[in-house]
Chain A
Amino acid sequence: MRWLDWVVVVTYLVWIVTSGLRASRRTNEIDGYFRANRSLPWWAVGLSVMATQLSAITLVGTTGKAYADGMKFVQFYFGLPIAMVILSMTVVPFFYRANVYTAYEYLERRFDLKTRTLAAFTFLIQRALSCGIIIAAPSIILSIVLGWPFGVTILVIGLPVIAYTMVGGVQAVTWTDVKQMGIVIFAMTSVVVVLIIGLPVSTSDALHVAGAVGRLQAIDTSLDLHTDYTLWSGLIGSLFLMLSYFGCDQSQVQRYLTAKSVDSARHSLLVSAFAKIPLQAGILLTGVLTFCFFLFNKNPMLFNPVYERTVLASQRAGEYRALETEFDQKFQVRAAAAKGLAATQSDPSSPAYATAREAFRSAQTEIAAVRSKAVTLVRDVTGDTTYTDTNYVFPTFILSYMPIGLMGLMIAAILSAAMSASSGELNALATATAIDVYRRHINPTAPDAAFLRFSKMSTAFWGLFACVAAYYSANLGSLIDTVNKIGSLFYGSILGVFILALGVKPANGHGAFFGLIAGLVSVFIVSFHPETKTISYLWHNVIGAVVCVVVGTAISLATGSRRAAPAPTQPTR
């Protein structure tokens, strides 16, 4: 990084922390701290909803995924718009009128304390782990850029977020989210411009070349349950995941509880319903353009420089050097083949096109084989059998090819994404800890001042916990998959409890509690049993929800309905 890039990054950090602290009003009151006094406009809440879901993983992991696998990951989001419509019609007005601070409060009123507590703890566990991974992604990049230890870069990200979230509560989170979304969109646009300028052929020709090796195949209509992303797992499995994430996960529920009215809360979700798939498609297309860019501009054989240095310092350095030489030769062959294919693509029916396409596909297979040998070598030397460098592809492009100033802006965008996602989650973790654990179980009569003090300390605790979790999650493979897979262990069962609460009249506390446990156990069995563990994790959400509802209903009918479903009135805290 050069001096101007440093200026941009430092300016960003100072600006976002100070503006986060200044954006807070009446945060010395419980309602101001947790719900912004229900005063925020729909567009700000809508951008905050998107920012909380769009983490640095989305930028770093998704672009790397598109580089390696193409656009298929976009199908993950297909359930989102439908989920937003369903939630706008059902859960949003329900929670808003119920006047709750957390989604889990309602479960006690509808069922009993044990169901509320189990649901809150389930949220706390899975969200704390996910928050760690969200901080890990940009920390990896900073550790490469600065050459600092990984632990130090985690703290550089984590401490500013803890500071403004702790002091400013949900208002600081929302208003910084709005600014951070603006930075992310501007920076990604600048990356696309730099990528297109760096292509020696037209963008259309480059996309044809990428398409020849399947990078633009976004839709997979196969019915294979073991393929992670298909049209059906996206429309059905992802629908369950999104219903649970936006309807039952405190990190999202808390966002729309801050809106001015029920209609504002609905509109805030509909922002994502319209914009999320096009935005994700744009980010994935950026990853595909990065693939196109590296067809013509030399990239390192391995994208993780730390592991590369380890291999070069080992006794097998000679072997690695030989592979590098072979890689360089194959790169030249592939670049020539790509140019040949681009030159002939205007007439796909010509024999020259068929020959050029076959030559390019063959060159791509050969260079992938060399890279595969290098990866095997890294795994042998380092002992890291899960090594993958997908997450390093996009940072490598940024650090090698972005012009002065824009490199700093892109680093600021990655920091923005990490901070916006983790601040919302820290805020939600602190809220659930304070409302569902502290005030309900530990000190129900605590005065507001002591309660707020606990909430702020809770934010700091979860922030530091996330930093520790981040430290151990750097080598978990594709970070975007990891965070979604962890979430999918829990989401379906939690959704099942809320379906029982809102849609199954005979359901009672025993049914909901044991239904939730049955859902969680069934998903864990499916996830880890040798014969079923290859089933796509998106289906885990369906399995968890269905098992929870079926078991919960059966137990409720067997034990008898103990509590009728009340209308939402005053919250139970």
Chain B
Amino acid sequence: MPSLPTGERDLSRTYALVILVEAIVIGALYWLGAHFS
């Protein structure tokens, strides 16, 4: 794996968390429509 430039952090876990949160939010919105229909 290539090394990061000086002073920069590896944010790959944060990126994975962004995608996970989006999946949860879309799921919650789907539930909202189903529950209140």
Q: How far is the CB of A83 from chain B (nearest CB, A)?
A: 10
Interface contact A81-B36, CB-CB below 8 Å? no
In angstroms, Cα B6 to Cα A468, docked, is 48
Please indicate the chain A residues that have their CB under 8 angstroms from the CB of B26 in the complex. 78, 219, 231, 277
Please indicate the chain B residues that have their CB under 8 angstroms from the CB of A71 in the complex. 29, 32-33
Interface contact B7-A88, CB-CB below 8 Å? no
In angstroms, Cα B25 to Cα A218, docked, is 11
A 195-209 to B, binary, CB cutoff 8 A, 1 in contact else 0: 000000000000110
CB nearest neighbor in A for B9: A263
Interface contact B18-A219, CB-CB below 8 Å? no
Interface contact B19-A218, CB-CB below 8 Å? no
The count of residues in chain B whose C-beta lies closer than 8 Å to any C-beta of chain A is 20
Interface contact A208-B8, CB-CB below 8 Å? no
In angstroms, Cα B21 to Cα A262, docked, is 23
Q: How far is the CB of B27 from chain A (nearest CB, A)?
A: 9
Query: Does residue A261 face the partner (Cβ distance < 8 Å to B)?
Result: yes
Please indicate the chain B residues that have their CB under 8 angstroms from the CB of A218 in the complex. 29-30, 32-33
Interface residues on A, range: 20 to 34
Interface contact B37-A214, CB-CB below 8 Å? yes
Query: Does residue A367 face the partner (Cβ distance < 8 Å to B)?
Result: no
In angstroms, Cα B22 to Cα A246, docked, is 18
A 251-264 to B, binary, CB cutoff 8 A, 1 in contact else 0: 00000000001110
Residues of A204-223 whose CB lies within 8 A of B: 207-208, 210-212, 214, 216-219
Query: Does residue A516 face the partner (Cβ distance < 8 Å to B)?
Result: no
CB nearest neighbor in A for B28: A281
Q: How far is the CB of B5 from chain A (nearest CB, A)?
A: 8
Please indicate the chain B residues that have their CB under 8 angstroms from the CB of A281 in the complex. 25, 29
In angstroms, Cα B32 to Cα A281, docked, is 11
Q: Is the interface of B mostly helix, strand, loop or mixed?
A: helix
Query: Does residue A89 face the partner (Cβ distance < 8 Å to B)?
Result: yes
Query: Does residue A274 face the partner (Cβ distance < 8 Å to B)?
Result: yes
Interface contact A277-B25, CB-CB below 8 Å? yes
Please indicate the chain A residues that have their CB under 8 angstroms from the CB of B15 in the complex. 85, 88-89
CB nearest neighbor in B for A234: B26
CB nearest neighbor in B for A277: B25
Interface contact B22-A217, CB-CB below 8 Å? no
Residues of A10-32 whose CB lies within 8 A of B: none
Interface contact B36-A210, CB-CB below 8 Å? yes
Q: How far is the CB of B24 from chain A (nearest CB, A)?
A: 10
Query: Does residue A266 face the partner (Cβ distance < 8 Å to B)?
Result: yes
Query: Does residue B14 face the partner (Cβ distance < 8 Å to A)?
Result: yes
A 74-85 to B, binary, CB cutoff 8 A, 1 in contact else 0: 100010011011
Interface contact A81-B29, CB-CB below 8 Å? no
Query: Does residue B11 face the partner (Cβ distance < 8 Å to A)?
Result: yes
Please indicate the chain B residues that have their CB under 8 angstroms from the CB of A278 in the complex. 25
Interface contact B21-A81, CB-CB below 8 Å? yes
Interface contact B33-A217, CB-CB below 8 Å? yes
Please indicate the chain A residues that have their CB under 8 angstroms from the CB of B37 in the complex. 211-212, 214, 216-217
A 22-53 to B, binary, CB cutoff 8 A, 1 in contact else 0: 00000000000000000000000000000000
Q: How far is the CB of A310 from chain B (nearest CB, A)?
A: 38
Query: Does residue A157 face the partner (Cβ distance < 8 Å to B)?
Result: no
Having A208-B36, A219-B33, A262-B7, one finds 11 other A-B pairs with CB under 8 Å, namely A81-B21, A85-B15, A88-B11, A212-B37, A217-B37, A218-B32, A263-B8, A263-B9, A270-B11, A273-B18, A277-B25
17 residue pairs from A and B, CB less than 8 Å apart: A71-B32, A81-B18, A82-B22, A84-B18, A85-B18, A93-B8, A216-B36, A219-B33, A231-B26, A266-B11, A270-B18, A273-B18, A274-B18, A274-B21, A277-B25, A277-B26, A281-B29
